[in-house]
Structure 1
Amino acid sequence: MKMRKLFAGIAAAATLLGGMALGATSAQAGDAATTAGTAFITVKNSQVGHTYKAYKFATLTVDTDNEGKSVQVGTDSAWKTAVQQAVNVANNVQQPVQTMPAEYAGNPAAYAATKTADEVWFRTFAANMNVPQGTDANGTVSGDGGAVAINNLTEGWYLVTDAYMKDDQQTTGVNAIVATTLGGLAKDFTVVGDKGTGQGTIHAVGMFVAKNENTPTIDSKTVDSADPKVSFDGKTVKIGQKLTYTVKAIVPETAAGYDSYPYYIQDVASKGLTIDKDSIKVMAGNGAADGYTITSTVSQTTGETTTTITFANAKKYAGKQLVVTYNATVNDQILDDAKVTNTAKASHDGTFDGTGVTKTLYTGNLEFLKYGVGNDENKLAGATFNVYAGAKVEGTPLKFTSTKTGANGVYKFNAKGSTNVISGDDGKIVLNGLAAGKYTFKETGFVAGYAKNIVPEFTIEVAISDNGVVTYKLTRENNNLGLASTAVVDKVNTIKVKNVKNVTQLPLTGAAGTTLFTVVALLVAGAGVAVALKSRQRMH
């Protein structure tokens, strides 16, 4: 079959990945110059773990009779069947269905050259190009995340395949149809086919931007207190605490090579977090991003909140970092797992199967046993305490709500609750939903029959390890009367807080013993002063 001539101006991108060069930038002659008889194809934005192979399926010969402005296309003999089959599939997607003119029989690549301006047709053609059995690649290169070159090629039209491993399976990526530079020049070559086929173009620059990128990743995810006045250690939280999350992700440079590049950022939060959808902001550089929508759904099964930010076309953000911020509040469902988690992922196709970035925050608890003397040992219900954040009785007492109905002594932190926590019938006070730190207790309501002027005051420190294990202990702060102590109760180390009926029942050891003797000494001294005064009065 005679070679078909191709003329007319190339539409800046007829051979990029996916079968098209749409959106590609023409290279200057010096950018891709070749030595005599050799050429190369540069794969821009190559991906680590991907292997790119180039197969020459057609010759491209510069027509010197037309001042080097047009080329002749000839299908390599081993590729005629493969090219013809791809042409047939592409023709069948047209409406109405098209048929290749008879004059292209034996040279289907020349026909394909007349169709490069038809995006749908050429993309389908490229996707359905299959390497003939037994055909070796003319060149191979491994991706490294940047631009890599397939070297030592002869000038011509190439199919570039992409292969990589995914889930331990060999996976085939999107094909690219790429023309090398011709005569050592990177330029647009134009021709006109038959009147019935219209105008075709070839963009001979010897490069393309790989669209088969690895799954996009999240660069970083951080969390901080939404209120700068509220302390936050970055690891533990209390119920009702308001947080600000920040997610950063760079849109792949690949986006620049697409006509339209969808991009997604998704965040899945566990049921212990209530997401404030209205607080979500997306920034690009120093300004607000645009062109995105936000969807937020709550699973009826797991209670998880899935928030997805969708860019229908993120092409203009190619290579740029997007910064997403939003607020969330820790709710009491954190108690089910004693932690909250949320995971951010990115995607270019709406499938979130890549590695995400997860933030996990834990919550803690503490408890102590309230007991009296005599028959009330280990069980004293109805004692009331105020709780303060830190190691001092200062500021506003924390508020708690009962987890269950009734006076059972089990409470959860809640800023809308009551400042009073009361020991239950088992003598215990149990507090849940606490961040790590120190908590100071002061008894404010006393059981009938017990001294009201001998007030237990003590501090408990809650610690939470990096894997969420909670421990708490009695500290030395504030326990001046020694009414709080640690003892083994039912084979368990337990913090015990004693109520007394009079000063003689105070512990006699340690600082408390010193305090008791001081009190007694003061009482004796006071009595002595009173006797002396009376004696002086009698003398006068």
Structure 2
Amino acid sequence: MYKPKKIASVAVAAVLVAGLGLTPISSFANTSATDVPDTPVTITGVNDGDTVKFYQVFDADIDASNNLTYTTKVTGLPGAYDTAAEVAGKDGRTVADAIAPVVTAGTATYTATAAGGKVTQSLDSGLYLVTVTTTSGATKIYQTMLVNASPVVKNGQYAAATLENVEAKSQPVTPPNKTVVPADGSTSGKLTDSYSVGDTATFRIDTAVPSFPSDATHASFSVTDVPEAGLSLNKDSIKVYDGDGYKNPVGAESYEVVYNGDGGFTVKFKWDYLKGHAGQKVRVEYKSKVVSINVETGKVGNKAYGTFTPNPYEDKEVSTEPADPQVQTYGFVFKKVTPTGTALPGAEFTIANADGPVTYIDAAGNTHTDGKVVSDANGYVHVNGLHKGTYTVTETGVPAGYQKVDPFNISLDETDKGDSPATPNVTEKNFDVNTADVTDPKQGQLPTTGGAGTVAFTAGGVLLIAGGAVVVFRSRKRD
């Protein structure tokens, strides 16, 4: 399946060695009785598990007349590089980029997996194109390499070349840096406690466009966001920026937004944008509403990762390790009791801050938007999902026979790491546990009428009136 082209010239071999300065790898039987032994080479600078492929472009042989000849092993090479003579003396990087799309479309002569940060192998004589494909999670795109395993002249005879280690060169791929912007718009970070349940948080994903060669046959780059169940994406809020300070909106024609079944999304950059913006910093910004939290930690977050083509001549994608920023919330709990210390259920409180009644999550995981919470059968008042700050607690519903307490304040911050006793089946790590019970005093006794003393006074008055009537009657009879 190839077109053999031979060049009988010792000079060609010399120029290949001197001009391309390349290197070799893989074990094949010699093709003639006068062939030289295979040439070992070591590729360094690779990660364990990386796939290294060697494609023989030109096969080198020693013919019966002791001439060094080359046979083209790849069909369809560009006209300027389809013979060893045309390749000799040219810049190796230029040659590799020019022939890579055609060469890598075929089957590799040898494939190996890196271990210990290197690959060592023996190569039959000739010129090879070498590719390295990173494993999942690695953040680099390797350049193609030319390895020249042509025979050299030693003591007037052809012999296998002695090759130095070849270090694989690569371009870094910037893994997405996912942050959440505090509510006051200050510097974003991996964690913020400035949002409560019901608030809308701003998230940012910062990365950079990988560098792909202009003739890449496979080049892709995308950013994916995977939210936890507690976040609700605002699809209209997704924006993409590039440039210094991320002030320049990227045109919608340069990327595609795909919404995923998990409530997240993927921004896929198009090839025209990628090839014109190698190394360009990119930011994806969007908003999500906090609708629920992890009741044990008080947190909710989402992961972001990048997906790219590690080998621009191979139809394969890998993903970076995900970044995972989170929103941190807090809760508080206190016990409502009678003056004798007995639990007092049914007392209603309203929780508010400077903006009014809050949205919170109760002990059962339900969301309330009116700020009202009622003490449970054990007297506990349990409130979760609040951001850092100070809250006013006001008793707005008093059980019969008791008086309400004066309003009081509770402050929440990162020091609150207690476990709420109102939820014995859940171990929280974000609660302010008020050890002082909140006591409703008994309703005071007001003055009343109709008591025993009143009856006594009434009876005495009746007797006095009756006695007066008798005196008057006797006086009239005497007259």
TM class, shorter-length = 0.5 to 0.7
Note the 1:135-534 alignment, pairs <5 A: 135=123, 158-163=127-132, 166=135, 176=145, 213=171, 216-218=173-175, 220-225=177-182, 234-235=192-193, 237-254=195-212, 256=214, 258=216, 261-285=219-243, 286-290=247-251, 291-299=254-262, 305-313=263-271, 314-332=274-292, 334-335=294-295, 338-349=298-309, 351-374=317-340, 377-389=341-353, 396-400=356-360, 412=367, 414=368, 417-451=369-403, 455-464=405-414, 469-474=429-434, 486=435, 495-501=436-442
Q: Deviation digits for residues 348-388 of structure 1, max 9, x if unmatched?
A: 137453222221223322211111134xx332122222212
- 8 A Cα contact 1:272 1:339, kept in partner: no
Shift of 1:241: 1.6
- The aligned amino acid for 2:276 is K
Inter-CA distance 49–122: structure 2 relative to 1 (3 Å threshold): closer
- The aligned amino acid for 1:3 is I
Query: Which residue is equivalent to 2:161?
Result: none
- 8 A Cα contact 2:101 2:215, kept in partner: no
Inter-CA distance 255–356: structure 2 relative to 1 (3 Å threshold): farther
State the TM-score, normalizing by the size of structure 2: 0.57
Q: In 1, distance between residues paired with 2:145 and 2:408?
A: 73
Q: Which runs of 5+ in 2 are unaligned?
A: 10-14, 24-42, 89-96, 112-119, 149-167, 310-315, 418-427, 446-479
- The aligned amino acid for 2:325 is K
Q: In 1, distance between residues paired with 2:373 and 2:198?
A: 18
Q: In 2, distance between residues paired with 1:47 and 1:330?
A: 48
Aligned residues: CA RMSD: 5.1
- The aligned amino acid for 1:440 is T
Q: In 2, distance between residues paired with 1:498 and 1:226?
A: 36
Inter-CA distance 128–49: structure 2 relative to 1 (3 Å threshold): closer
Q: Which runs of 5+ in 1 are unaligned?
A: 6-34, 59-74, 92-106, 138-156, 180-209, 300-304, 405-409, 475-485, 487-494, 505-540
Q: In 2, distance between residues paired with 1:422 and 1:76?
A: 87
Shift of 1:347: 2.0
Q: In 2, distance between residues paired with 1:37 and 1:352?
A: 35
Q: Percent sequence identity over matched residues?
A: 23
- 8 A Cα contact 1:379 1:426, kept in partner: yes
Query: Which residue is equivalent to 1:38?
Result: 18
- The aligned amino acid for 2:130 is T
Inter-CA distance 426–81: structure 2 relative to 1 (3 Å threshold): farther
Aligned residues: 345
Shift of 1:122: 4.1
Inter-CA distance 134–397: structure 2 relative to 1 (3 Å threshold): closer
- For the pair shown, the structure with the greater C-alpha radius of gyration is 2
State the TM-score, normalizing by the size of structure 1: 0.51
